[in-house]
Amino acid sequence: MPPPDKLPHLAASVGRFLKELPLRWAGMRDIKKKGVLVITGVLAVGLLLAAWHQLTTPNALGVFINGQQVAIAANRDQVNRALEEILKERGAGSYQGVRYTDQLDFKEVRANPQEIIGKEQLKSLLAGRLHLVAEATVITIDGQPRLVLKDDATADAVLAEFKQGFEPPAAIGQVQEVKFLEQVAYEHRQASPEEILSPEAALARLKGTAASSSLYTVKEGDSLWSIAREHNLLVDDIKRANPEIQGERLDIGQQLKLTTIQPLLQVMVVYNQDIKEPVPFETRVEKTADLLRGQEKIIQEGSEGEQLVTYQVVTRNGVVVDKKILRQQVLAEPVSRVVQQGTGVTALASRSGGSGRLAWPIRGYITSPYGYRGSEFHSGLDIAGNMGEPVGAAAGGVVISTGYDGGYGRMVVIDHGGGLVTRYAHLSGYNVRPGQQVSQGQIIGYVGVSGRTTGPHLHFEVLVGGSFRNPANYLR
């Protein structure tokens, strides 16, 4: 078979031969020579036809996408294998009905071998040109499409896992209701494989892709840490939203962008919770003249009871927004504390040797007696009084000091001799000076609220030999 570039010459030679054939035939007398001439002509024509057929018969397959030729393949099998691999790699095993939407056509063509591309090159070319789609489920929130998943079952599983993340453990409470506060629905449409999310990616978006931003103006005393704590953020969150921040420095009046991440859905959970709680005991006070005014005696110690309380708890994305009591059951009754308070004013001899010879510096009821108040020791009597009310000396003596003394506030100290000293605290002012001799009942100062106090009263102390004594044992 002659090469393609020799075909025009061959055709021209055969043509001349056929044109000259009648003349040659006429000039020949020998039958044998005429037979050779005929055979030669037939062979020449056959050779020309064979060469023409070889050069014009299709040897490849033209591939057309949407009417445009994009490649020349070896054959249809090569195209089919390339398409199968593309569909497999792009998720045909994971999605429903993956297919291409383009019009794919083929046409047999005659091409030079150099124009015919291999399978891998064909596969790459088709993957870049074809538009693949699959049947998908779209989760809509309040009518807005938010997440694309491969099917309803996957969408159900993602939403269920998101809800479950906000349910309390079974040991804490019994769940009564779990629901989304937004309207959640499904739509069905075709989507490209790139749009369809994995369950893990969809759950991550549900947990936090809706960002809300606000501007915060830096004020005196602010720091990145204090601003982050106030707005339930991390310092890194603030720096990420404000890349212009260098180091920790902030300027008063500077505006910061605060960006918070919020879940796409709000889950409301209602559950019942049983909690054992203490029942506080009551304190019952009994008045008795057997004790001096200001004295107390505990007749019966109190003890807490116990009750089982059933609460209905409502949470929104794990944060408690409502809590109410459904029922209460007392498991153990509390025992009341019984205290006797003295009302007697008869002078009593003190166990420390006191004679009851001190006069009341002011007349009023005892708001806090001498002795322990919980874990704190109260070293005197608190006597109720009015702001500015005159305070008298409990007995005659010499003023040791007047002045401000920490929690006592303004205080007067009087030495009565024999190791007996009295103190008068929380005064609003003084009427004596150190070294001054005073008589019983003489005004030494005025009721106030100086020092550690919650209201106007007199704190009155008695010391014998430098040790605190109960003033009630010395007053008459």
- The residue-averaged pLDDT of 255-281 equals 90
Q: How does pLDDT run across 97-107, given as a tens digit for each residue? A: 677 878 889 89
316-325: which pairs have CB atoms within 8 A and are 24 or more residues apart? 316/181, 316/266, 316/267, 316/268, 317/166, 317/263, 317/266, 317/267, 318/166
Same domain, 245 and 202: no
Rounded Cα–Cα distance for residues 357 and 96 (Å): 103
Q: What is the CA radius of gyration of the chain?
A: 53
Same domain, 353 and 452: yes
Tell me which of 71, 104, 130 is where a domain ends: 130
The per-residue pLDDT for 18 is: 58
Instruction: List Cα–Cα distances, 301 to 99, 128, 296, in angstroms.
Output: 83, 87, 13
Question: Do the beta carbons of residue 238 and residue 276 sit within 8 Å?
Answer: no
Same domain, 358 and 450: yes
The per-residue pLDDT for 59 is: 84
Tell me which of 110, 130, 150 is where a domain ends: 130
Q: Is the whole model's pTM more than 0.85, yes or no?
A: no
Contacts of 195 (CB under 8 A, 6+ apart): 136, 148
CA dihedral 440, 445, 448, 449 (to 10 degrees): -100
Query: At 442, which CATH number?
Result: 2.70.70.10
Same domain, 244 and 148: no
Question: Do the beta carbons of residue 426 and residue 459 sit within 8 Å?
Answer: yes
Specify the residue for token string 């030679």. 13
Same domain, 73 and 153: no
Same domain, 47 and 25: yes
- The residue-averaged pLDDT of 237-256 equals 87
> Comparing 83-87, 275-279, 297-301, which segment has the lowest mean pLDDT?
83-87
Specify the residue for token string 């591309």. 117
Same domain, 299 and 401: no
Burial of 111 (0-12, 13-18, 19+ CB in 10 A): middle
pLDDT at residue 348 tops 60: no
Specify the residue for token string 């005004």. 443
Rounded Cα–Cα distance for residues 383 and 256 (Å): 55
3-state secondary structure of 406: helix
Q: Quote the mean pLDDT of the chain.
A: 83
Q: How does pLDDT run across 109-141, given as a tens digit for each residue? A: 888 888 888 889 988 888 888 888 888 999 999
Same domain, 142 and 185: yes
Rounded Cα–Cα distance for residues 313 and 320 (Å): 7
Total domain count, the chain = 6
**Could you tell me where the beta strands, DSSP code E, fall in 265-318?**
267-279, 283-292, 296-300, 305-316
Same domain, 169 and 183: yes
Tell me which of 339, 374, 398 is where a domain ends: 339
Query: At 223, which CATH number?
Result: 3.10.350.10
pLDDT at residue 188 tops 70: yes
pLDDT at residue 30 tops 50: yes
Query: At 320, which CATH number?
Result: 2.20.230.10
Question: Do the beta carbons of residue 55 and residue 4 sit within 8 Å?
Answer: yes
Amino acid occupying residue 7: L
Same domain, 359 and 441: yes
Amino acid occupying residue 111: A
The residue range of the domain holding 222 is: 210-262
pLDDT at residue 445 tops 70: yes
pLDDT band at 37 (very low <50, low <70, confident <90, very high): low
Same domain, 181 and 293: no
Question: Do the beta carbons of residue 293 and residue 472 sit within 8 Å?
Answer: yes
pLDDT at residue 352 tops 50: no
Same domain, 326 and 368: no
